[in-house]
Amino acid sequence: MPEIFYEIQDFLMNTNVEQKIVGDNSSDIYNTAMKELHRLESMMSFYKEASEVSLLNRQSGKEVVKLSSEMMLVLQQSEYFSILSENAFNIMLSPLIQLWRSAGKRNELPSDNDIENALYLCNSDNLVICEETAYLKKEGCMIDLGGIGKGFAADVCCNIYKDMGAKSAFINLGGNVKAIGNRADGKQWTVGIQHPDKPRGNCYCAIMCSDLSVVTSGGYERYQEINGVKYHHILDGRTGYPSDTDLKSVTVISKSSTQADALSTAAFVMGLKRGIDLIYASKCVGAIFFTTSNEIYMTKGVNQNLKLLERMKCYEV
């Protein structure tokens, strides 16, 4: 029987999803993965009223909430990456995220007082997780899985591809990429990394990956303008402002897309120096940092997987 190749684009989890699946039953595999993606969206969405995230957020300051074991796993992993990154990664920043969103709509900066009040709710100690339950200590506390959920979903999909016998597969969930095996033509999958200053589709490097995830966080794609100044969507829980970082983007390579997603967000907030320490402490495969002075720093070993597409100052650290 000929091998079937399935390639399809969808819009889900508020982002573009691209899947490529090689295998005899690739359409069944695709359908199963899509069901899982819908299920995960219903679990992790901040906006869907029936999601487990909303359930927990609604009970803030009121009750302990029993959650599914999968949701508990996401919360445990989130807590782990918060601790590892000294809270640069923090799923509790939702009150601040909402504050900045409404500030953008009004075209007016949030007041110091509003930021202070939101920061009080964003402290990660306000989330208490036990084996099967979670509790938000203060009314108004909210979690937001925007910095880790897509990575978790990419891992779930890749487990499905493998369990259902795909020979090889690739998923791009809004910039969270994970690939298993090699492409249909036997070559390694390659992921282009967007140049932060150039129009979409212009890549400054390509990363070869089999059985790896590649995730980029940056301030260049999702931002809002207030009084003509750009404010990006990754926040610093110490200041209450979008992170004032010396990076334009960070790309993390890891076997786990959950890890790559959380670490890329965290490293972006932490900046070059602390970001490098974080990557080495995490024992992921590595990372590539694109600085505001347009230099590239990469952790040891990453250059084996990487092809630069333009001339740039490049350092191994």
Backbone conformation region of residue 145, classed left if phi is above 0, alpha if psi is from -120 to 50, else beta: alpha
Q: Which of 95, 146, 181, 286 binds ligand ADP (CB under 6 A)?
A: 146
Q: Is residue 156 a contact residue for ligand ADP (CB under 6 A)?
A: no
Stretch that binds Mg ion, among 4-12, 222-230, 259-267, 290-298 (CB under 5 A): 259-267
Q: Is residue 52 a contact residue for ligand ADP (CB under 6 A)?
A: no
Give which of Mg ion, ligand ADP, none residue 90 binds (C-beta under 5 to 8 Å, depending on kind): ligand ADP
Contact 243/269 with Cβ under 8 angstroms?
Answer: yes
**Least distance from ligand ADP to the Cβ atom of residue 3, Å:** 32
Give the chain's largest Cα–Cα span: 67
What is the SS3 assignment for 20? Answer: strand
* Dihedral sign for Cα atoms in the order 132, 138, 139, 145: negative
Which residue, 160 or 263, has its beta carbon nearer to ligand ADP? 263
Give which of ligand ADP, Mg ion, none residue 233 binds (C-beta under 5 to 8 Å, depending on kind): ligand ADP
Q: Is residue 261 a contact residue for ligand ADP (CB under 6 A)?
A: yes
Beta bridge partners of 178: 171, 213
Please give the sequence-ordered ranges of beta strands (E in DSSP) within 32-162, or none if there are none. 65-66, 127-129, 133-136
Which residue, 222 or 307, has its beta carbon nearer to ligand ADP? 222
Q: Is residue 265 a contact residue for Mg ion (CB under 5 A)?
A: yes
Give which of ligand ADP, Mg ion, none residue 89 binds (C-beta under 5 to 8 Å, depending on kind): ligand ADP
In the window 180-239, what residues touch ligand ADP (CB under 6 A)? 217, 222, 233-235
Instruction: Fill in the per-residue mask, 89 to 108: x = in contact with ligand ADP (CB under 6 A), - = not in contact.
Output: xxx-x---x-----------
Buried b (16+ CB within 10 A) or exposed e, 25-55: ebeebbebbbeebeebbebbbbeeeebbbbb
In what helix (H) or strand (E) does residue 106 lie, and over which residues does it extend?
Answer: helix 94-106
Residues forming contacts to Mg ion in the complex (CB under 5 A) are 147, 261, 265
